[in-house]
Amino acid sequence: MHETTVAANIIDIVRNSIPSGDLAKIAAIRLKVGLLANVMKDSLLFSFNSLKENTPFPSAILEINEMPLIIKCLDCEKENTGNDFIFCCPACRSTHIEVTGGDELSISEIIINPD
Q: Has residue 12 been placed in a domain?
A: yes
Buried/exposed 81-100: b ≥16 CB within 10 Å, e otherwise: eeeeeeeebeeeeeeebeee
**In this predicted model, what pLDDT tens digit does every residue of 12-68 receive, in sequence order?**
999 999 999 999 999 999 999 999 999 999 999 999 999 999 999 999 999 999 999
The number of distinct structural domains making up the chain is: 1
Find the CATH number of the domain harbouring 82. Answer: 3.30.2320.80
Q: What is the DSSP string of 51-67?
A: HGGGSS-TT-EEEEEEE
pTM: 0.86
Band of residue 85 on the pLDDT scale cut at 50, 70, 90: confident
Q: Has residue 23 been placed in a domain?
A: yes
Q: Has residue 14 been placed in a domain?
A: yes
Domain housing 50: 2-110
pLDDT for residue 43: 97
Q: Has residue 115 been placed in a domain?
A: no
